[in-house]
């Protein structure tokens, strides 16, 4: 994530993927192999979005918007071609995050900032 050659869109996409990968580890059923060790009663539970926000130096809302963006990119790729993802992330196709979210079907929950026209 700290690489200089990553565009802001690439960073956003990767943070969204990281959130999706890590979001269900805490609070999973005991027999779930992805569950982390038991949390003691005096330990404050930090949401995945809060943890990633601290890790990447961004706001928690940014992480949540990144998840929507990553989902939108993946839906667009499913309906087009795999190379479209890299074209969007490298800005070969000059679209904004808002336009990307609008291009994906309305089944994605959009943050109010991007839902407004």
DSSP letters of the chain?
---TT--HHHHHHHHHHHHHHHTTSTT--TT-TTPPPPPPTTSPP--HHHHHHHHHTS-HHHHHHHHHHHHHHHHHHHHS-THHHHHHHTTSS---HHHHHHHS-TTSPPPHHHH--
- Residue 2 confidence (pLDDT) above 70: no
64 pLDDT band, cuts 50/70/90, is very high
Domain that holds residue 63: 8-115
Distances (CA, A) of 113 to 12, 68, 83, 92: 16, 12, 28, 25
Has residue 3 been placed in a domain? no
Q: Are 56 and 22 in contact (CB under 8 A)?
A: no
Give the number of domains in the chain.
Answer: 1
Instruction: Name the least confident of 25-29, 42-46, 85-89.
Output: 25-29
Has residue 105 been placed in a domain? yes
- Residue 26 confidence (pLDDT) above 70: no
Has residue 92 been placed in a domain? yes
- Residue 7 confidence (pLDDT) above 80: yes
């Amino acid at each position: 994530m700290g690489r200089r050659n990553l565009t802001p869109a690439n960073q956003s996409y990767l943070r969204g993927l990281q959130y999706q990968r890590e979001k269900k580890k805490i609070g999973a059923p005991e027999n779930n192999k992805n569950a982390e060790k038991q949390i003691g009663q005096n330990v404050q539970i930090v949401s995945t979005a809060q943890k990633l926000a601290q890790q990447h130096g961004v706001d928690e809302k940014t992480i949540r918007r990144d998840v929507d963006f990553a989902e939108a990119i993946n839906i667009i790729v499913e309906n087009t071609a795999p190379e479209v993802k890299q074209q969007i992330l490298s800005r070969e196709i000059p679209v904004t995050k808002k336009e990307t979210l609008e291009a994906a079907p309305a089944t994605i929950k959009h943050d109010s900032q991007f839902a407004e026209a």
